[in-house]
Structure 1
Amino acid sequence: MSAQVPIIDFSRFTTGDAAARQEVAKEIVNAFRTYGFVHFINHPVTPSAISLTFRQSKLFFDLPISSKSKAPHPPGFTVHRGYSHPGLEKISNLTASTNGSTNGTATNGTDKAAVELARQVPDIKESYDIGSEHNTEQPNVWPPPNLIPGFRGFMTGFYWTLAEFAREILRALALGIGLDEEHLLKIYENGEYNQLRLLHYPEVDARILEEGRAVRIPAHCDWSAFTMLFQDDCGGLEIESPTTPGKFIAVEPIEHACLVNIGDLMARWSNDFLKSTCHRVGMPPLLQNRCAGDKRTTRSRYSIGYFVTTPPDAVIECLPSCVDESRPAKYAPVTQREYNISKASMSYN
């Protein structure tokens, strides 16, 4: 079963008058309140830029692991950049207790036991993470220039293209929940703390996934304010049903569309007015017979994610339009840094 995630023409917001922008903003917020997801078409990112980014991504992941490993994800979880080989990262909904600490060291034994249990079923994916060149807390780890000439410059440009698109989405969200259009941008600043992620799901024997010995990505909610995602045509993304908790339904990819979903920070920010929906990457719908006999091999899958967030020391607390006497604040204020540590520490050893 496929999810009928709403499809919204984003050009109606970027080119419309004040009344049209307000109308589209309400549509966007209603979609997020129901599904947590929305497809944007006719958005500011050109089809050629998207296609070129997928091409650059494939060039990187086609390199031998010895070459990709020349841009390694740093040890631990405090810096989330560079190349992560299959099995290094484990996505989950587990959250460590930081006890107010901001140094990323405070996890308890129960947390660690849960992580080790989760790691017994590895994620079969590889990723490459990129941030702003101005974010000194999270310095980029680039492959040597000779491996893919122009890769660094191209990805840096694409990062900032998405940062500008994210600003427009934040304007729409602010209008849609009854705030001044610029309200969320005061905390977002200029997008220096976002994260661009290239993802590749290698071909794998279908039985490994069917028997639960490994997964693509298990069910989880994103840590960010929201995520912008571009998919290839492979399929496999599933979201939790808005009407039947625990049931997951497929989201069909739309060429050049940007699929956006609310993350946990925005859910906290909006006092759950906007919905952070669990999602996962499961078995793709199409299999390719690569070997003789009954062995079935899944298709290789590529996607591009962009995680939109605030500066590390920004305090995330309920927005004024999302809390009143009938809707008291559900969450205590938290800094982006504290929340990010609580999640990242559970994904990497």
Structure 2
Amino acid sequence: MTTSPSIPVVDLGSWPGGSAADRKRIASELTDACRRVGFVYVVNHGVPPALLDEAFAWSRRLFDLPLEKKMLAPHPPAGSAVHRGYSWPGLEKVSQTLYADGEEDRAKQVEDRRVSDVKESYEIGSEDSIQQPNIWLPAGVLPGFREFTTAFYWRCFDVAKELLRALALALGLGLDDEDFFLSFHSGANNQLRLLHYPPVEVEKLARDEVARMPAHSDWSTLTMLFQDGNGGLQVEDPKQEGRFVDAMPMRGALVMNVGDLLMRWSNDSLKSTLHRVTLPPLARDAATAPRMTPARYSIPYFVSPDPTAVVRCLAVCADARNPPRYPPVTQEEYARRGPGGTARGERLERTDGMAG
């Protein structure tokens, strides 16, 4: 394991078909990164660079469509339980805050929405999901898009399954129980998200007049993120609250981060870390920065348990001195009520559970 800009790098190349010693070493490296930082670069993960290039090409084609074409597959109105289809700039506001029903809280919510998030997205799930049916563009608007993204969705899950196996092994569940997490994750409740951050004025972004994506955590099990070369993703330093470090793009790598549900399973031994999207590093020097940021594209893949899966503290992660910190909860209950109490998690005002 090596380290790049404070975020560890783990090579998964020897995991498939590797010896028991190889698999234990890789699992240990992955889980150590999740304990210390909550984020890790994963290389040789199994998604070929050519396939990633194709995925980003489809994303660019999608977002290059005229707005009226993209609006043929609109995300349902705010408050809907379905999070699929196209979200236009201004629809979504990412916040780490939970609001109550009082006037003071409503005023705070209005104030928080004053700074809009400048991005657009398209969300895709399993075609087998009953709770989250896909919303597709009409046939002929972007031929081949549905077929490619559906196949890419399951290719990403193939990678996620190996990461879940490695985490189970390193948490102490043993070689005979590597598939523990897979018993809760059929893949049908995951989410593939195509994200586009249009160019925005550097000065407005630096003065917080607009935002790309404010600091938040993901309340999935884990997130796999593919990003282009323009940068802007930052991760909070676990040892210094409020200090963020750059997660610089690494060609071909995915960025994996722990979600709130995995943090609950591990009794906080694995960290669900705050992260955000802001100015790319080269745009922070006011003397040399261009007036507009470059466009940014990213593809997060959120890995979530099945709706009725019960998330409870693993026995190997608790003892008399460190008792379970969270009560058992199903995924659908956690998603419905939003994060609360000591369970820190992201909330979108359109009641989504994940960003990226």
Structure 1 counterpart of 2:89: 86
Distance 2:85 2:105 in 1: 26
Q: Is residue 2:311 matched to residue 1:313? A: no
Amino acid in the other structure paired with 2:307: P
Q: Is residue 2:270 matched to residue 1:277? A: no
Gaps in structure 2 of 5+ consecutive residues:
339-345, 352-356
Q: Is residue 2:238 matched to residue 1:235? A: no
TM-score by length of 2: 0.89
1:287 CA displacement: 4.6
Amino acid in the other structure paired with 1:342: R
Contact persistence 2:115–2:209 (CA under 8 A): yes
Cα deviation 1:231-272 (Å, max 9, x = unaligned): 000001100013211101111100110110001111111110
Distance 1:82 1:268 in 2: 29
Structure 2 counterpart of 1:108: 101
Contact persistence 1:133–1:139 (CA under 8 A): yes
Structure 2 counterpart of 1:329: 324
1:206 CA displacement: 1.1
Structure 1 counterpart of 2:341: none
Contact persistence 1:199–1:303 (CA under 8 A): yes
Aligned pairs, number: 332
Q: How does 1:100-249 map to 2 (within 5 A)?
A: 108-109=101-102, 112-179=106-173, 180-188=177-185, 190-249=186-245
Distance 1:125 1:303 in 2: 11
Distance 2:108 2:130 in 1: 32
Structure 2 counterpart of 1:262: 258
Distance 1:13 1:35 in 2: 22
Equivalent pairs: percent with the same residue?
Answer: 48
Contact persistence 1:171–1:181 (CA under 8 A): yes
Contact persistence 2:124–2:193 (CA under 8 A): yes
1:218 CA displacement: 0.4
Q: Is residue 2:352 matched to residue 1:347? A: no
Contact persistence 1:115–1:346 (CA under 8 A): no
Gaps in structure 1 of 5+ consecutive residues:
97-106, 289-293
1:295 CA displacement: 7.2
Q: 2:215 is paired with a residue of what secondary structure?
A: strand
TM-score by length of 1: 0.91
Distance 1:328 1:120 in 2: 42
Contact persistence 2:89–2:119 (CA under 8 A): yes
Contact persistence 2:215–2:274 (CA under 8 A): yes
Cα deviation 1:265-324 (Å, max 9, x = unaligned): 111111101010000001112359xxxxx9701110000000001011111111111111
Contact persistence 2:92–2:348 (CA under 8 A): no
Distance 2:7 2:293 in 1: 25
Distance 1:340 1:297 in 2: 36
1:113 CA displacement: 4.4
Structure 2 counterpart of 1:102: none
Structure 2 counterpart of 1:253: 249
Which deviates further from its counterpart, 136-145 or 55-64?
136-145
Q: Judging changes above 3 Å, is the alpha-carbon distance between structure 1 residues 286 and 144 closer, same or farther for their aligned structure 2 residues? A: farther
Structure 1 counterpart of 2:343: none
Q: Judging changes above 3 Å, is the alpha-carbon distance between structure 1 residues 252 and 88 closer, same or farther for their aligned structure 2 residues? A: same
Instruction: Please give the root-mean-square deviation of Cα atoms over the aligned residues, in Å.
Output: 1.8
Distance 2:68 2:203 in 1: 28
Which 4+ runs in 1 deviate beyond 2 A?
A: 107-117, 285-288, 341-347
1:116 CA displacement: 2.6
Amino acid in the other structure paired with 2:147: G
Amino acid in the other structure paired with 2:218: D
Cα deviation 1:124-178 (Å, max 9, x = unaligned): 1111000000001101011122121100000000000011111111000000100
Q: Judging changes above 3 Å, is the alpha-carbon distance between structure 1 residues 345 and 205 closer, same or farther for their aligned structure 2 residues? A: closer
